[in-house]
A and B are shown apart, each in its own frame.
Chain A
Amino acid sequence: MSSSYFSVKDYIFIALMAAVMVIIGYLTVPLVIHIPIPGIRSVISAPFMAVFLALALARVEKPGAATLLSFFIAMVYSMISIILAIMIVTGGITADIVTWLVFRDYRRPAARVLAGCVYFGSHVPVGIILGALFVGGDYSRVFIKPWPITGMSLVVAILAVLGVCAGNRLVMELRRAGKFPQPEHR
């Protein structure tokens, strides 16, 4: 038995889910990259990425899984921009803290829904605040207002919840197919 908090299987599974999430970003973000509306990239990628976030959390079930997943994704994105990496890790840590406070772990589907909602929802305010800090000007003065941030965060969070719900259904399918461990065997 390993003394490590996460097992080798957990690390591999989270790393592969991180790789798929990066790929989804690679396939979806270019569709909206020329539209400089804060949060638009999260709107298009969140519903698909949330499916894989749900799968990773359902498989590992331990607190800290979202942070680890976000760290792997952030290491890839740090090669494009340090700001993106900070935004992603902040989302992962926030999701882990909030879910740990409410549910303690990711065993229940509702915990994964909350984690997905917080993870992707937090990307928008953090991204807007970091963007405003880095770019500044009247452009940031327009967006650093409660209503655009809350509105965009809500849209992303709702789309992420849809993705996590689809992911939770996939988890059930994978359990039936014998690809995922049954809940009572863990």
Chain B
Amino acid sequence: MWIQKVNPLIKFLAAILLTCIAVLLKRPESLSSLTGFLFILGWIGGLRPSCRVLAGSAIMLSVFGLINLAFGTQPYDMIKNLLRLIAIFLIGPVLTLTVSPAELVQCLRRCRLPNGIALGLIVTFRFIPILLSEAVQIRDAARLRGLRWKPGSLRLTFRSVIMPLSFKTVSVADHVATALEVRGFSLRHSPTIMPGSGLGWKDIWFIMMAMFLPLILLLFERVLCFA
């Protein structure tokens, strides 16, 4: 996917700017244009949401719309609120979910990020799938022994899931830290001589393309307001 080759920091910058523009836009026409633009950007970027994700989002938006109406919001304003919500929640998957953690850490390192923080980020991203599989195994084992999720089972959940997970995590942390220290890892020196990825023409083209229509919409709305 071409969108994955864009510098992650540029994508984060575009996400922040687009979120600000989504907040500033007030008319449903502009907001629907922005939402449509984000859908197209995601589609040509290769983003294909599953039926489950679409159904979940539809339920959430319906409930949100009904609550808006229950609080006395006019249908026109409700549509506006829904469109803004969709735009804000589309920005994340379209721009930042296409960032690979390794590229993000490389880019942050290029911005003179302290070695410790870069290390921490790598460890966080690297160990999420490992610890997730551990957590799921622990939860399944607890379920086999009769644990059911209900409000009154907080203490039981703590004993059968949280306690084993915490012991496992502490043990993993000790192993990783010891392994790094044994290998002579130091926070003073950069652990790699490889340069991080810098800015290129494709990044400049991307930010120009991503910001062109939203800025035009914002400008158009402001001009209409003053007219």
Contact = CB atoms under 8 A, between A and B. Distances in A.
Determine if chain A interacts with chain B: yes
A16 B81 contact: no
A125 to B, nearest CB: 18
Interface centre among B78, B88, B93, B149 (most CB of A within 10 A): B88
A6 B167 CA distance: 22
A138 B124 contact: no
Interface residues on A, range: 35 or more
A22 B187 contact: no
Given A23-B131, A138-B77, A139-B73, A72 B174 contact: no
Interface stretch (B41-49, B60-68, B200-208, B213-221): B60-68
Contact of A16 (B71, B131, B158): B131
A71 interface: yes
A158 B170 CA distance: 26
Interface in A42-85: 47-48, 51-52, 55, 68, 71-73, 75-76, 78-83
B162 A16 contact: no
B166 A137 contact: no
Interface in B95-111: 96-97, 99, 104
Contacts of B81: 135-137, 139
Contact of B124 (A8, A31, A76, A177): A76
Contacts of B123: 11-12, 15-16, 19
B34 interface: no
Nearest to A170: B166
B117 A11 contact: yes
Nearest to B87: A134
Nearest to B171: A179
Interface string B135-175: 10001000000000100001001100011011101111110
B110 to A, nearest CB: 16
Interface in B161-202: 162-163, 165-167, 169-174, 176-177, 180-181, 185-188
A22 B131 CA distance: 10
- Could you say which interface size class chain B belongs to? 35 or more
B63 A35 contact: yes
Nearest to A73: B124
A8 to B, nearest CB: 6
Nearest to A52: B166
A171 B113 CA distance: 31
A9 B185 CA distance: 11
A172 interface: no
A73 B75 CA distance: 37
Nearest to B161: A48
Contacts of B80: 137
A137 B116 contact: no
A17 B117 contact: no
B71 A142 contact: yes
Interface string A149-186: 00000000000000000100010001001011000000
A124 B96 CA distance: 24
B10 interface: no
A8 B68 contact: no
B26 to A, nearest CB: 9
Nearest to A137: B81
Contact of A83 (B88, B163, B169, B172): B88
B92 interface: yes
A166 B88 CA distance: 36
Contact of A20 (B117, B157, B169, B181): B169
B72 A138 contact: yes
B84 A134 contact: yes
A146 interface: no
Given A12-B123, A22-B128, A80-B92, A179 B72 contact: no
17 contacts: A3-B188, A6-B116, A8-B187, A11-B117, A12-B119, A15-B124, A16-B123, A23-B128, A51-B162, A68-B117, A72-B124, A73-B124, A82-B12, A136-B81, A137-B80, A139-B81, A174-B170
